[in-house]
Amino acid sequence: MEPLTWTGSLAGLNIIFLGLTALLAVAVLAQIVVSFVPSNGPQGVNADGTMTAPGGLTGALNKAVFYLFALLVLLVLVYIVAGAFMGANAGIFGGISQQMLPVWIALIVTFALSIHFKRRLGLYGKLFDSTVGMIGFAIVMFWVFTGVFGGLFDMLVTHDSLSQVSGMKNKLPGTPLRAPEEGEYPWFLLGGDNLARDVFSRLIKGSWVVVQIAPLATLFAFMVGITLGLPAGYYGGRLDTLLSFLANLILAFPVILLFYLLVTPEIVRTGIPNYMAVFLFIFPLVFLAVLLNSRYYTQPSFRTPLLIVVLGIVGWLYLSLVSNNGSIVATDTYRIPGLPSAIDLFDIDAGVLVVFVSVVFVNSPTVFRIVRGLALDIKTRDYVAAAQTRGEGPWYIMLWEILPNARGPLIVDFCLRIGYTTILLGTLGFFGLGLESESPDWGSTINAGRRLLALYPHAAIAPALALLSLVLGLNLLADGLREESLRD
């Protein structure tokens, strides 16, 4: 069996792709050079108050960049669509495209439904009026669907991410297996690593690690930051001073050193990360309790049953989250029992729990400072004074008057913070902290591949590009959300 080339039967399109890429690079470079030249004439204003498009050389370059980029995207779509039908006949790209077919279908359905109903979807729907936002959303959802389909359901992987295949050590992308068994995928699409494992399958599995941890850890950090930041900004005084001091104390500590301390085996054996999980994970429970109580405080007949049901379910999830193998904390000298295994919904791997707690702990003070600053500003608005005049309680004002009006900056920061968390996870994996050494997370994979980077770069470059693209997508998504939120 012959090794695969990158584009196989589609090799004729490569010259067009390279030509468009070169022209786009030249156009962007010319655009940058021209931007330093002062404009000769004033720019006009449209009837709706927006500025007219620049004319002359600047306008021509802007159009050239736009059309060249559009043609490049169209050509990439041709590669993807043709590869999805042709498979390995279209080379490595074709094989990957065919394996990712469920992701393409999910993306098409998501975009079709979102664009059709965008006027009913609030800020999310307005995102599809922003080109930058749509590009970022597409990149992010690509990795989300990849993580779900590939990591959770094993629909995309070609080989077991932990299995070592004889003769495939450090093999280049597209290398065929020596003697594939019946039904086994016959190639390593992105080559093999230094332990003869399939890089493509590890890349897919690694996306599931990121999709599991980064958004949830960021969400928990926001719960902690919002629950503490709102009263600090609203009440001020000694409460604000105390909470701000604690936040600044954590922020003053070097982040990477803090991670080193939290995930070292000696600290883990003391049970400190488990105690931190018990403390930090209680904040979503407190947040929901205060949120529902403040909203339905005047309707006790409805509020009380609602709180019992919601807090019962969330409390069960909380205990399942902090319990592992029937214990909340288990050290060499003592054990604190948790939920019995029969009713424990899930057991989180000890390494994942430590990383999760570390990320929440590090991100919470920054979120606290953002929420506190927004609360200090918004509490002076007229609608807050009107709510106080109506006799509304402080928590009602904080959660139903101040927080909704701070949603724009918080949503944008949420997207950016997921990107920061993704980088932190990659950093921890790269240094071998927290997660298991065999974990397919991108940081560990990059670290394993860097040892032979000069000879076999594919093992490290593939997960590095994946990490880069996800963070880029999150930043573009945040820019799109910021752009649309400013129009509200």
C-beta of residue 402 within 8 angstroms of C-beta of residue 375? yes
39: pLDDT confidence band, cut at 50, 70 and 90?
A: low
Residue-averaged pLDDT of the chain: 88
> DSSP characters for 57-94?
HHHHHHHHHHHHHHHHHHHHHHHHHHHHHHGGGGHHHH
| Locus of tokens 């968390």 | 421
What H or E segment, with its residue span, contains residue 275? Answer: helix 272-280
pLDDT digit string (tens) for 92-126?
999 999 999 999 999 999 999 999 998 888 878 88
pLDDT of the residue at 104: 96
Share of residues in the chain with pLDDT > 90 (%): 56
pLDDT digit string (tens) for 15-34?
999 999 999 999 999 988 98
C-beta of residue 186 within 8 angstroms of C-beta of residue 449? no
Q: Which has the closest alpha carbon to 484: 48, 49, 223, 137?
A: 137
pLDDT of the residue at 207: 93
pLDDT of the residue at 469: 95
pLDDT over 70 at 414, yes or no? yes
pLDDT over 70 at 90, yes or no? yes
What H or E segment, with its residue span, contains residue 336? Answer: strand 335-337
- Average pLDDT of the residues in 272-286: 91
pLDDT of the residue at 356: 87
C-beta of residue 485 within 8 angstroms of C-beta of residue 477? no
pLDDT of the residue at 52: 56
Share of residues in the chain with pLDDT > 70 (%): 95
The C-alpha atoms of residue 125 and residue 27 are separated, in whole angstroms, by 32
The C-alpha atoms of residue 482 and residue 466 are separated, in whole angstroms, by 24
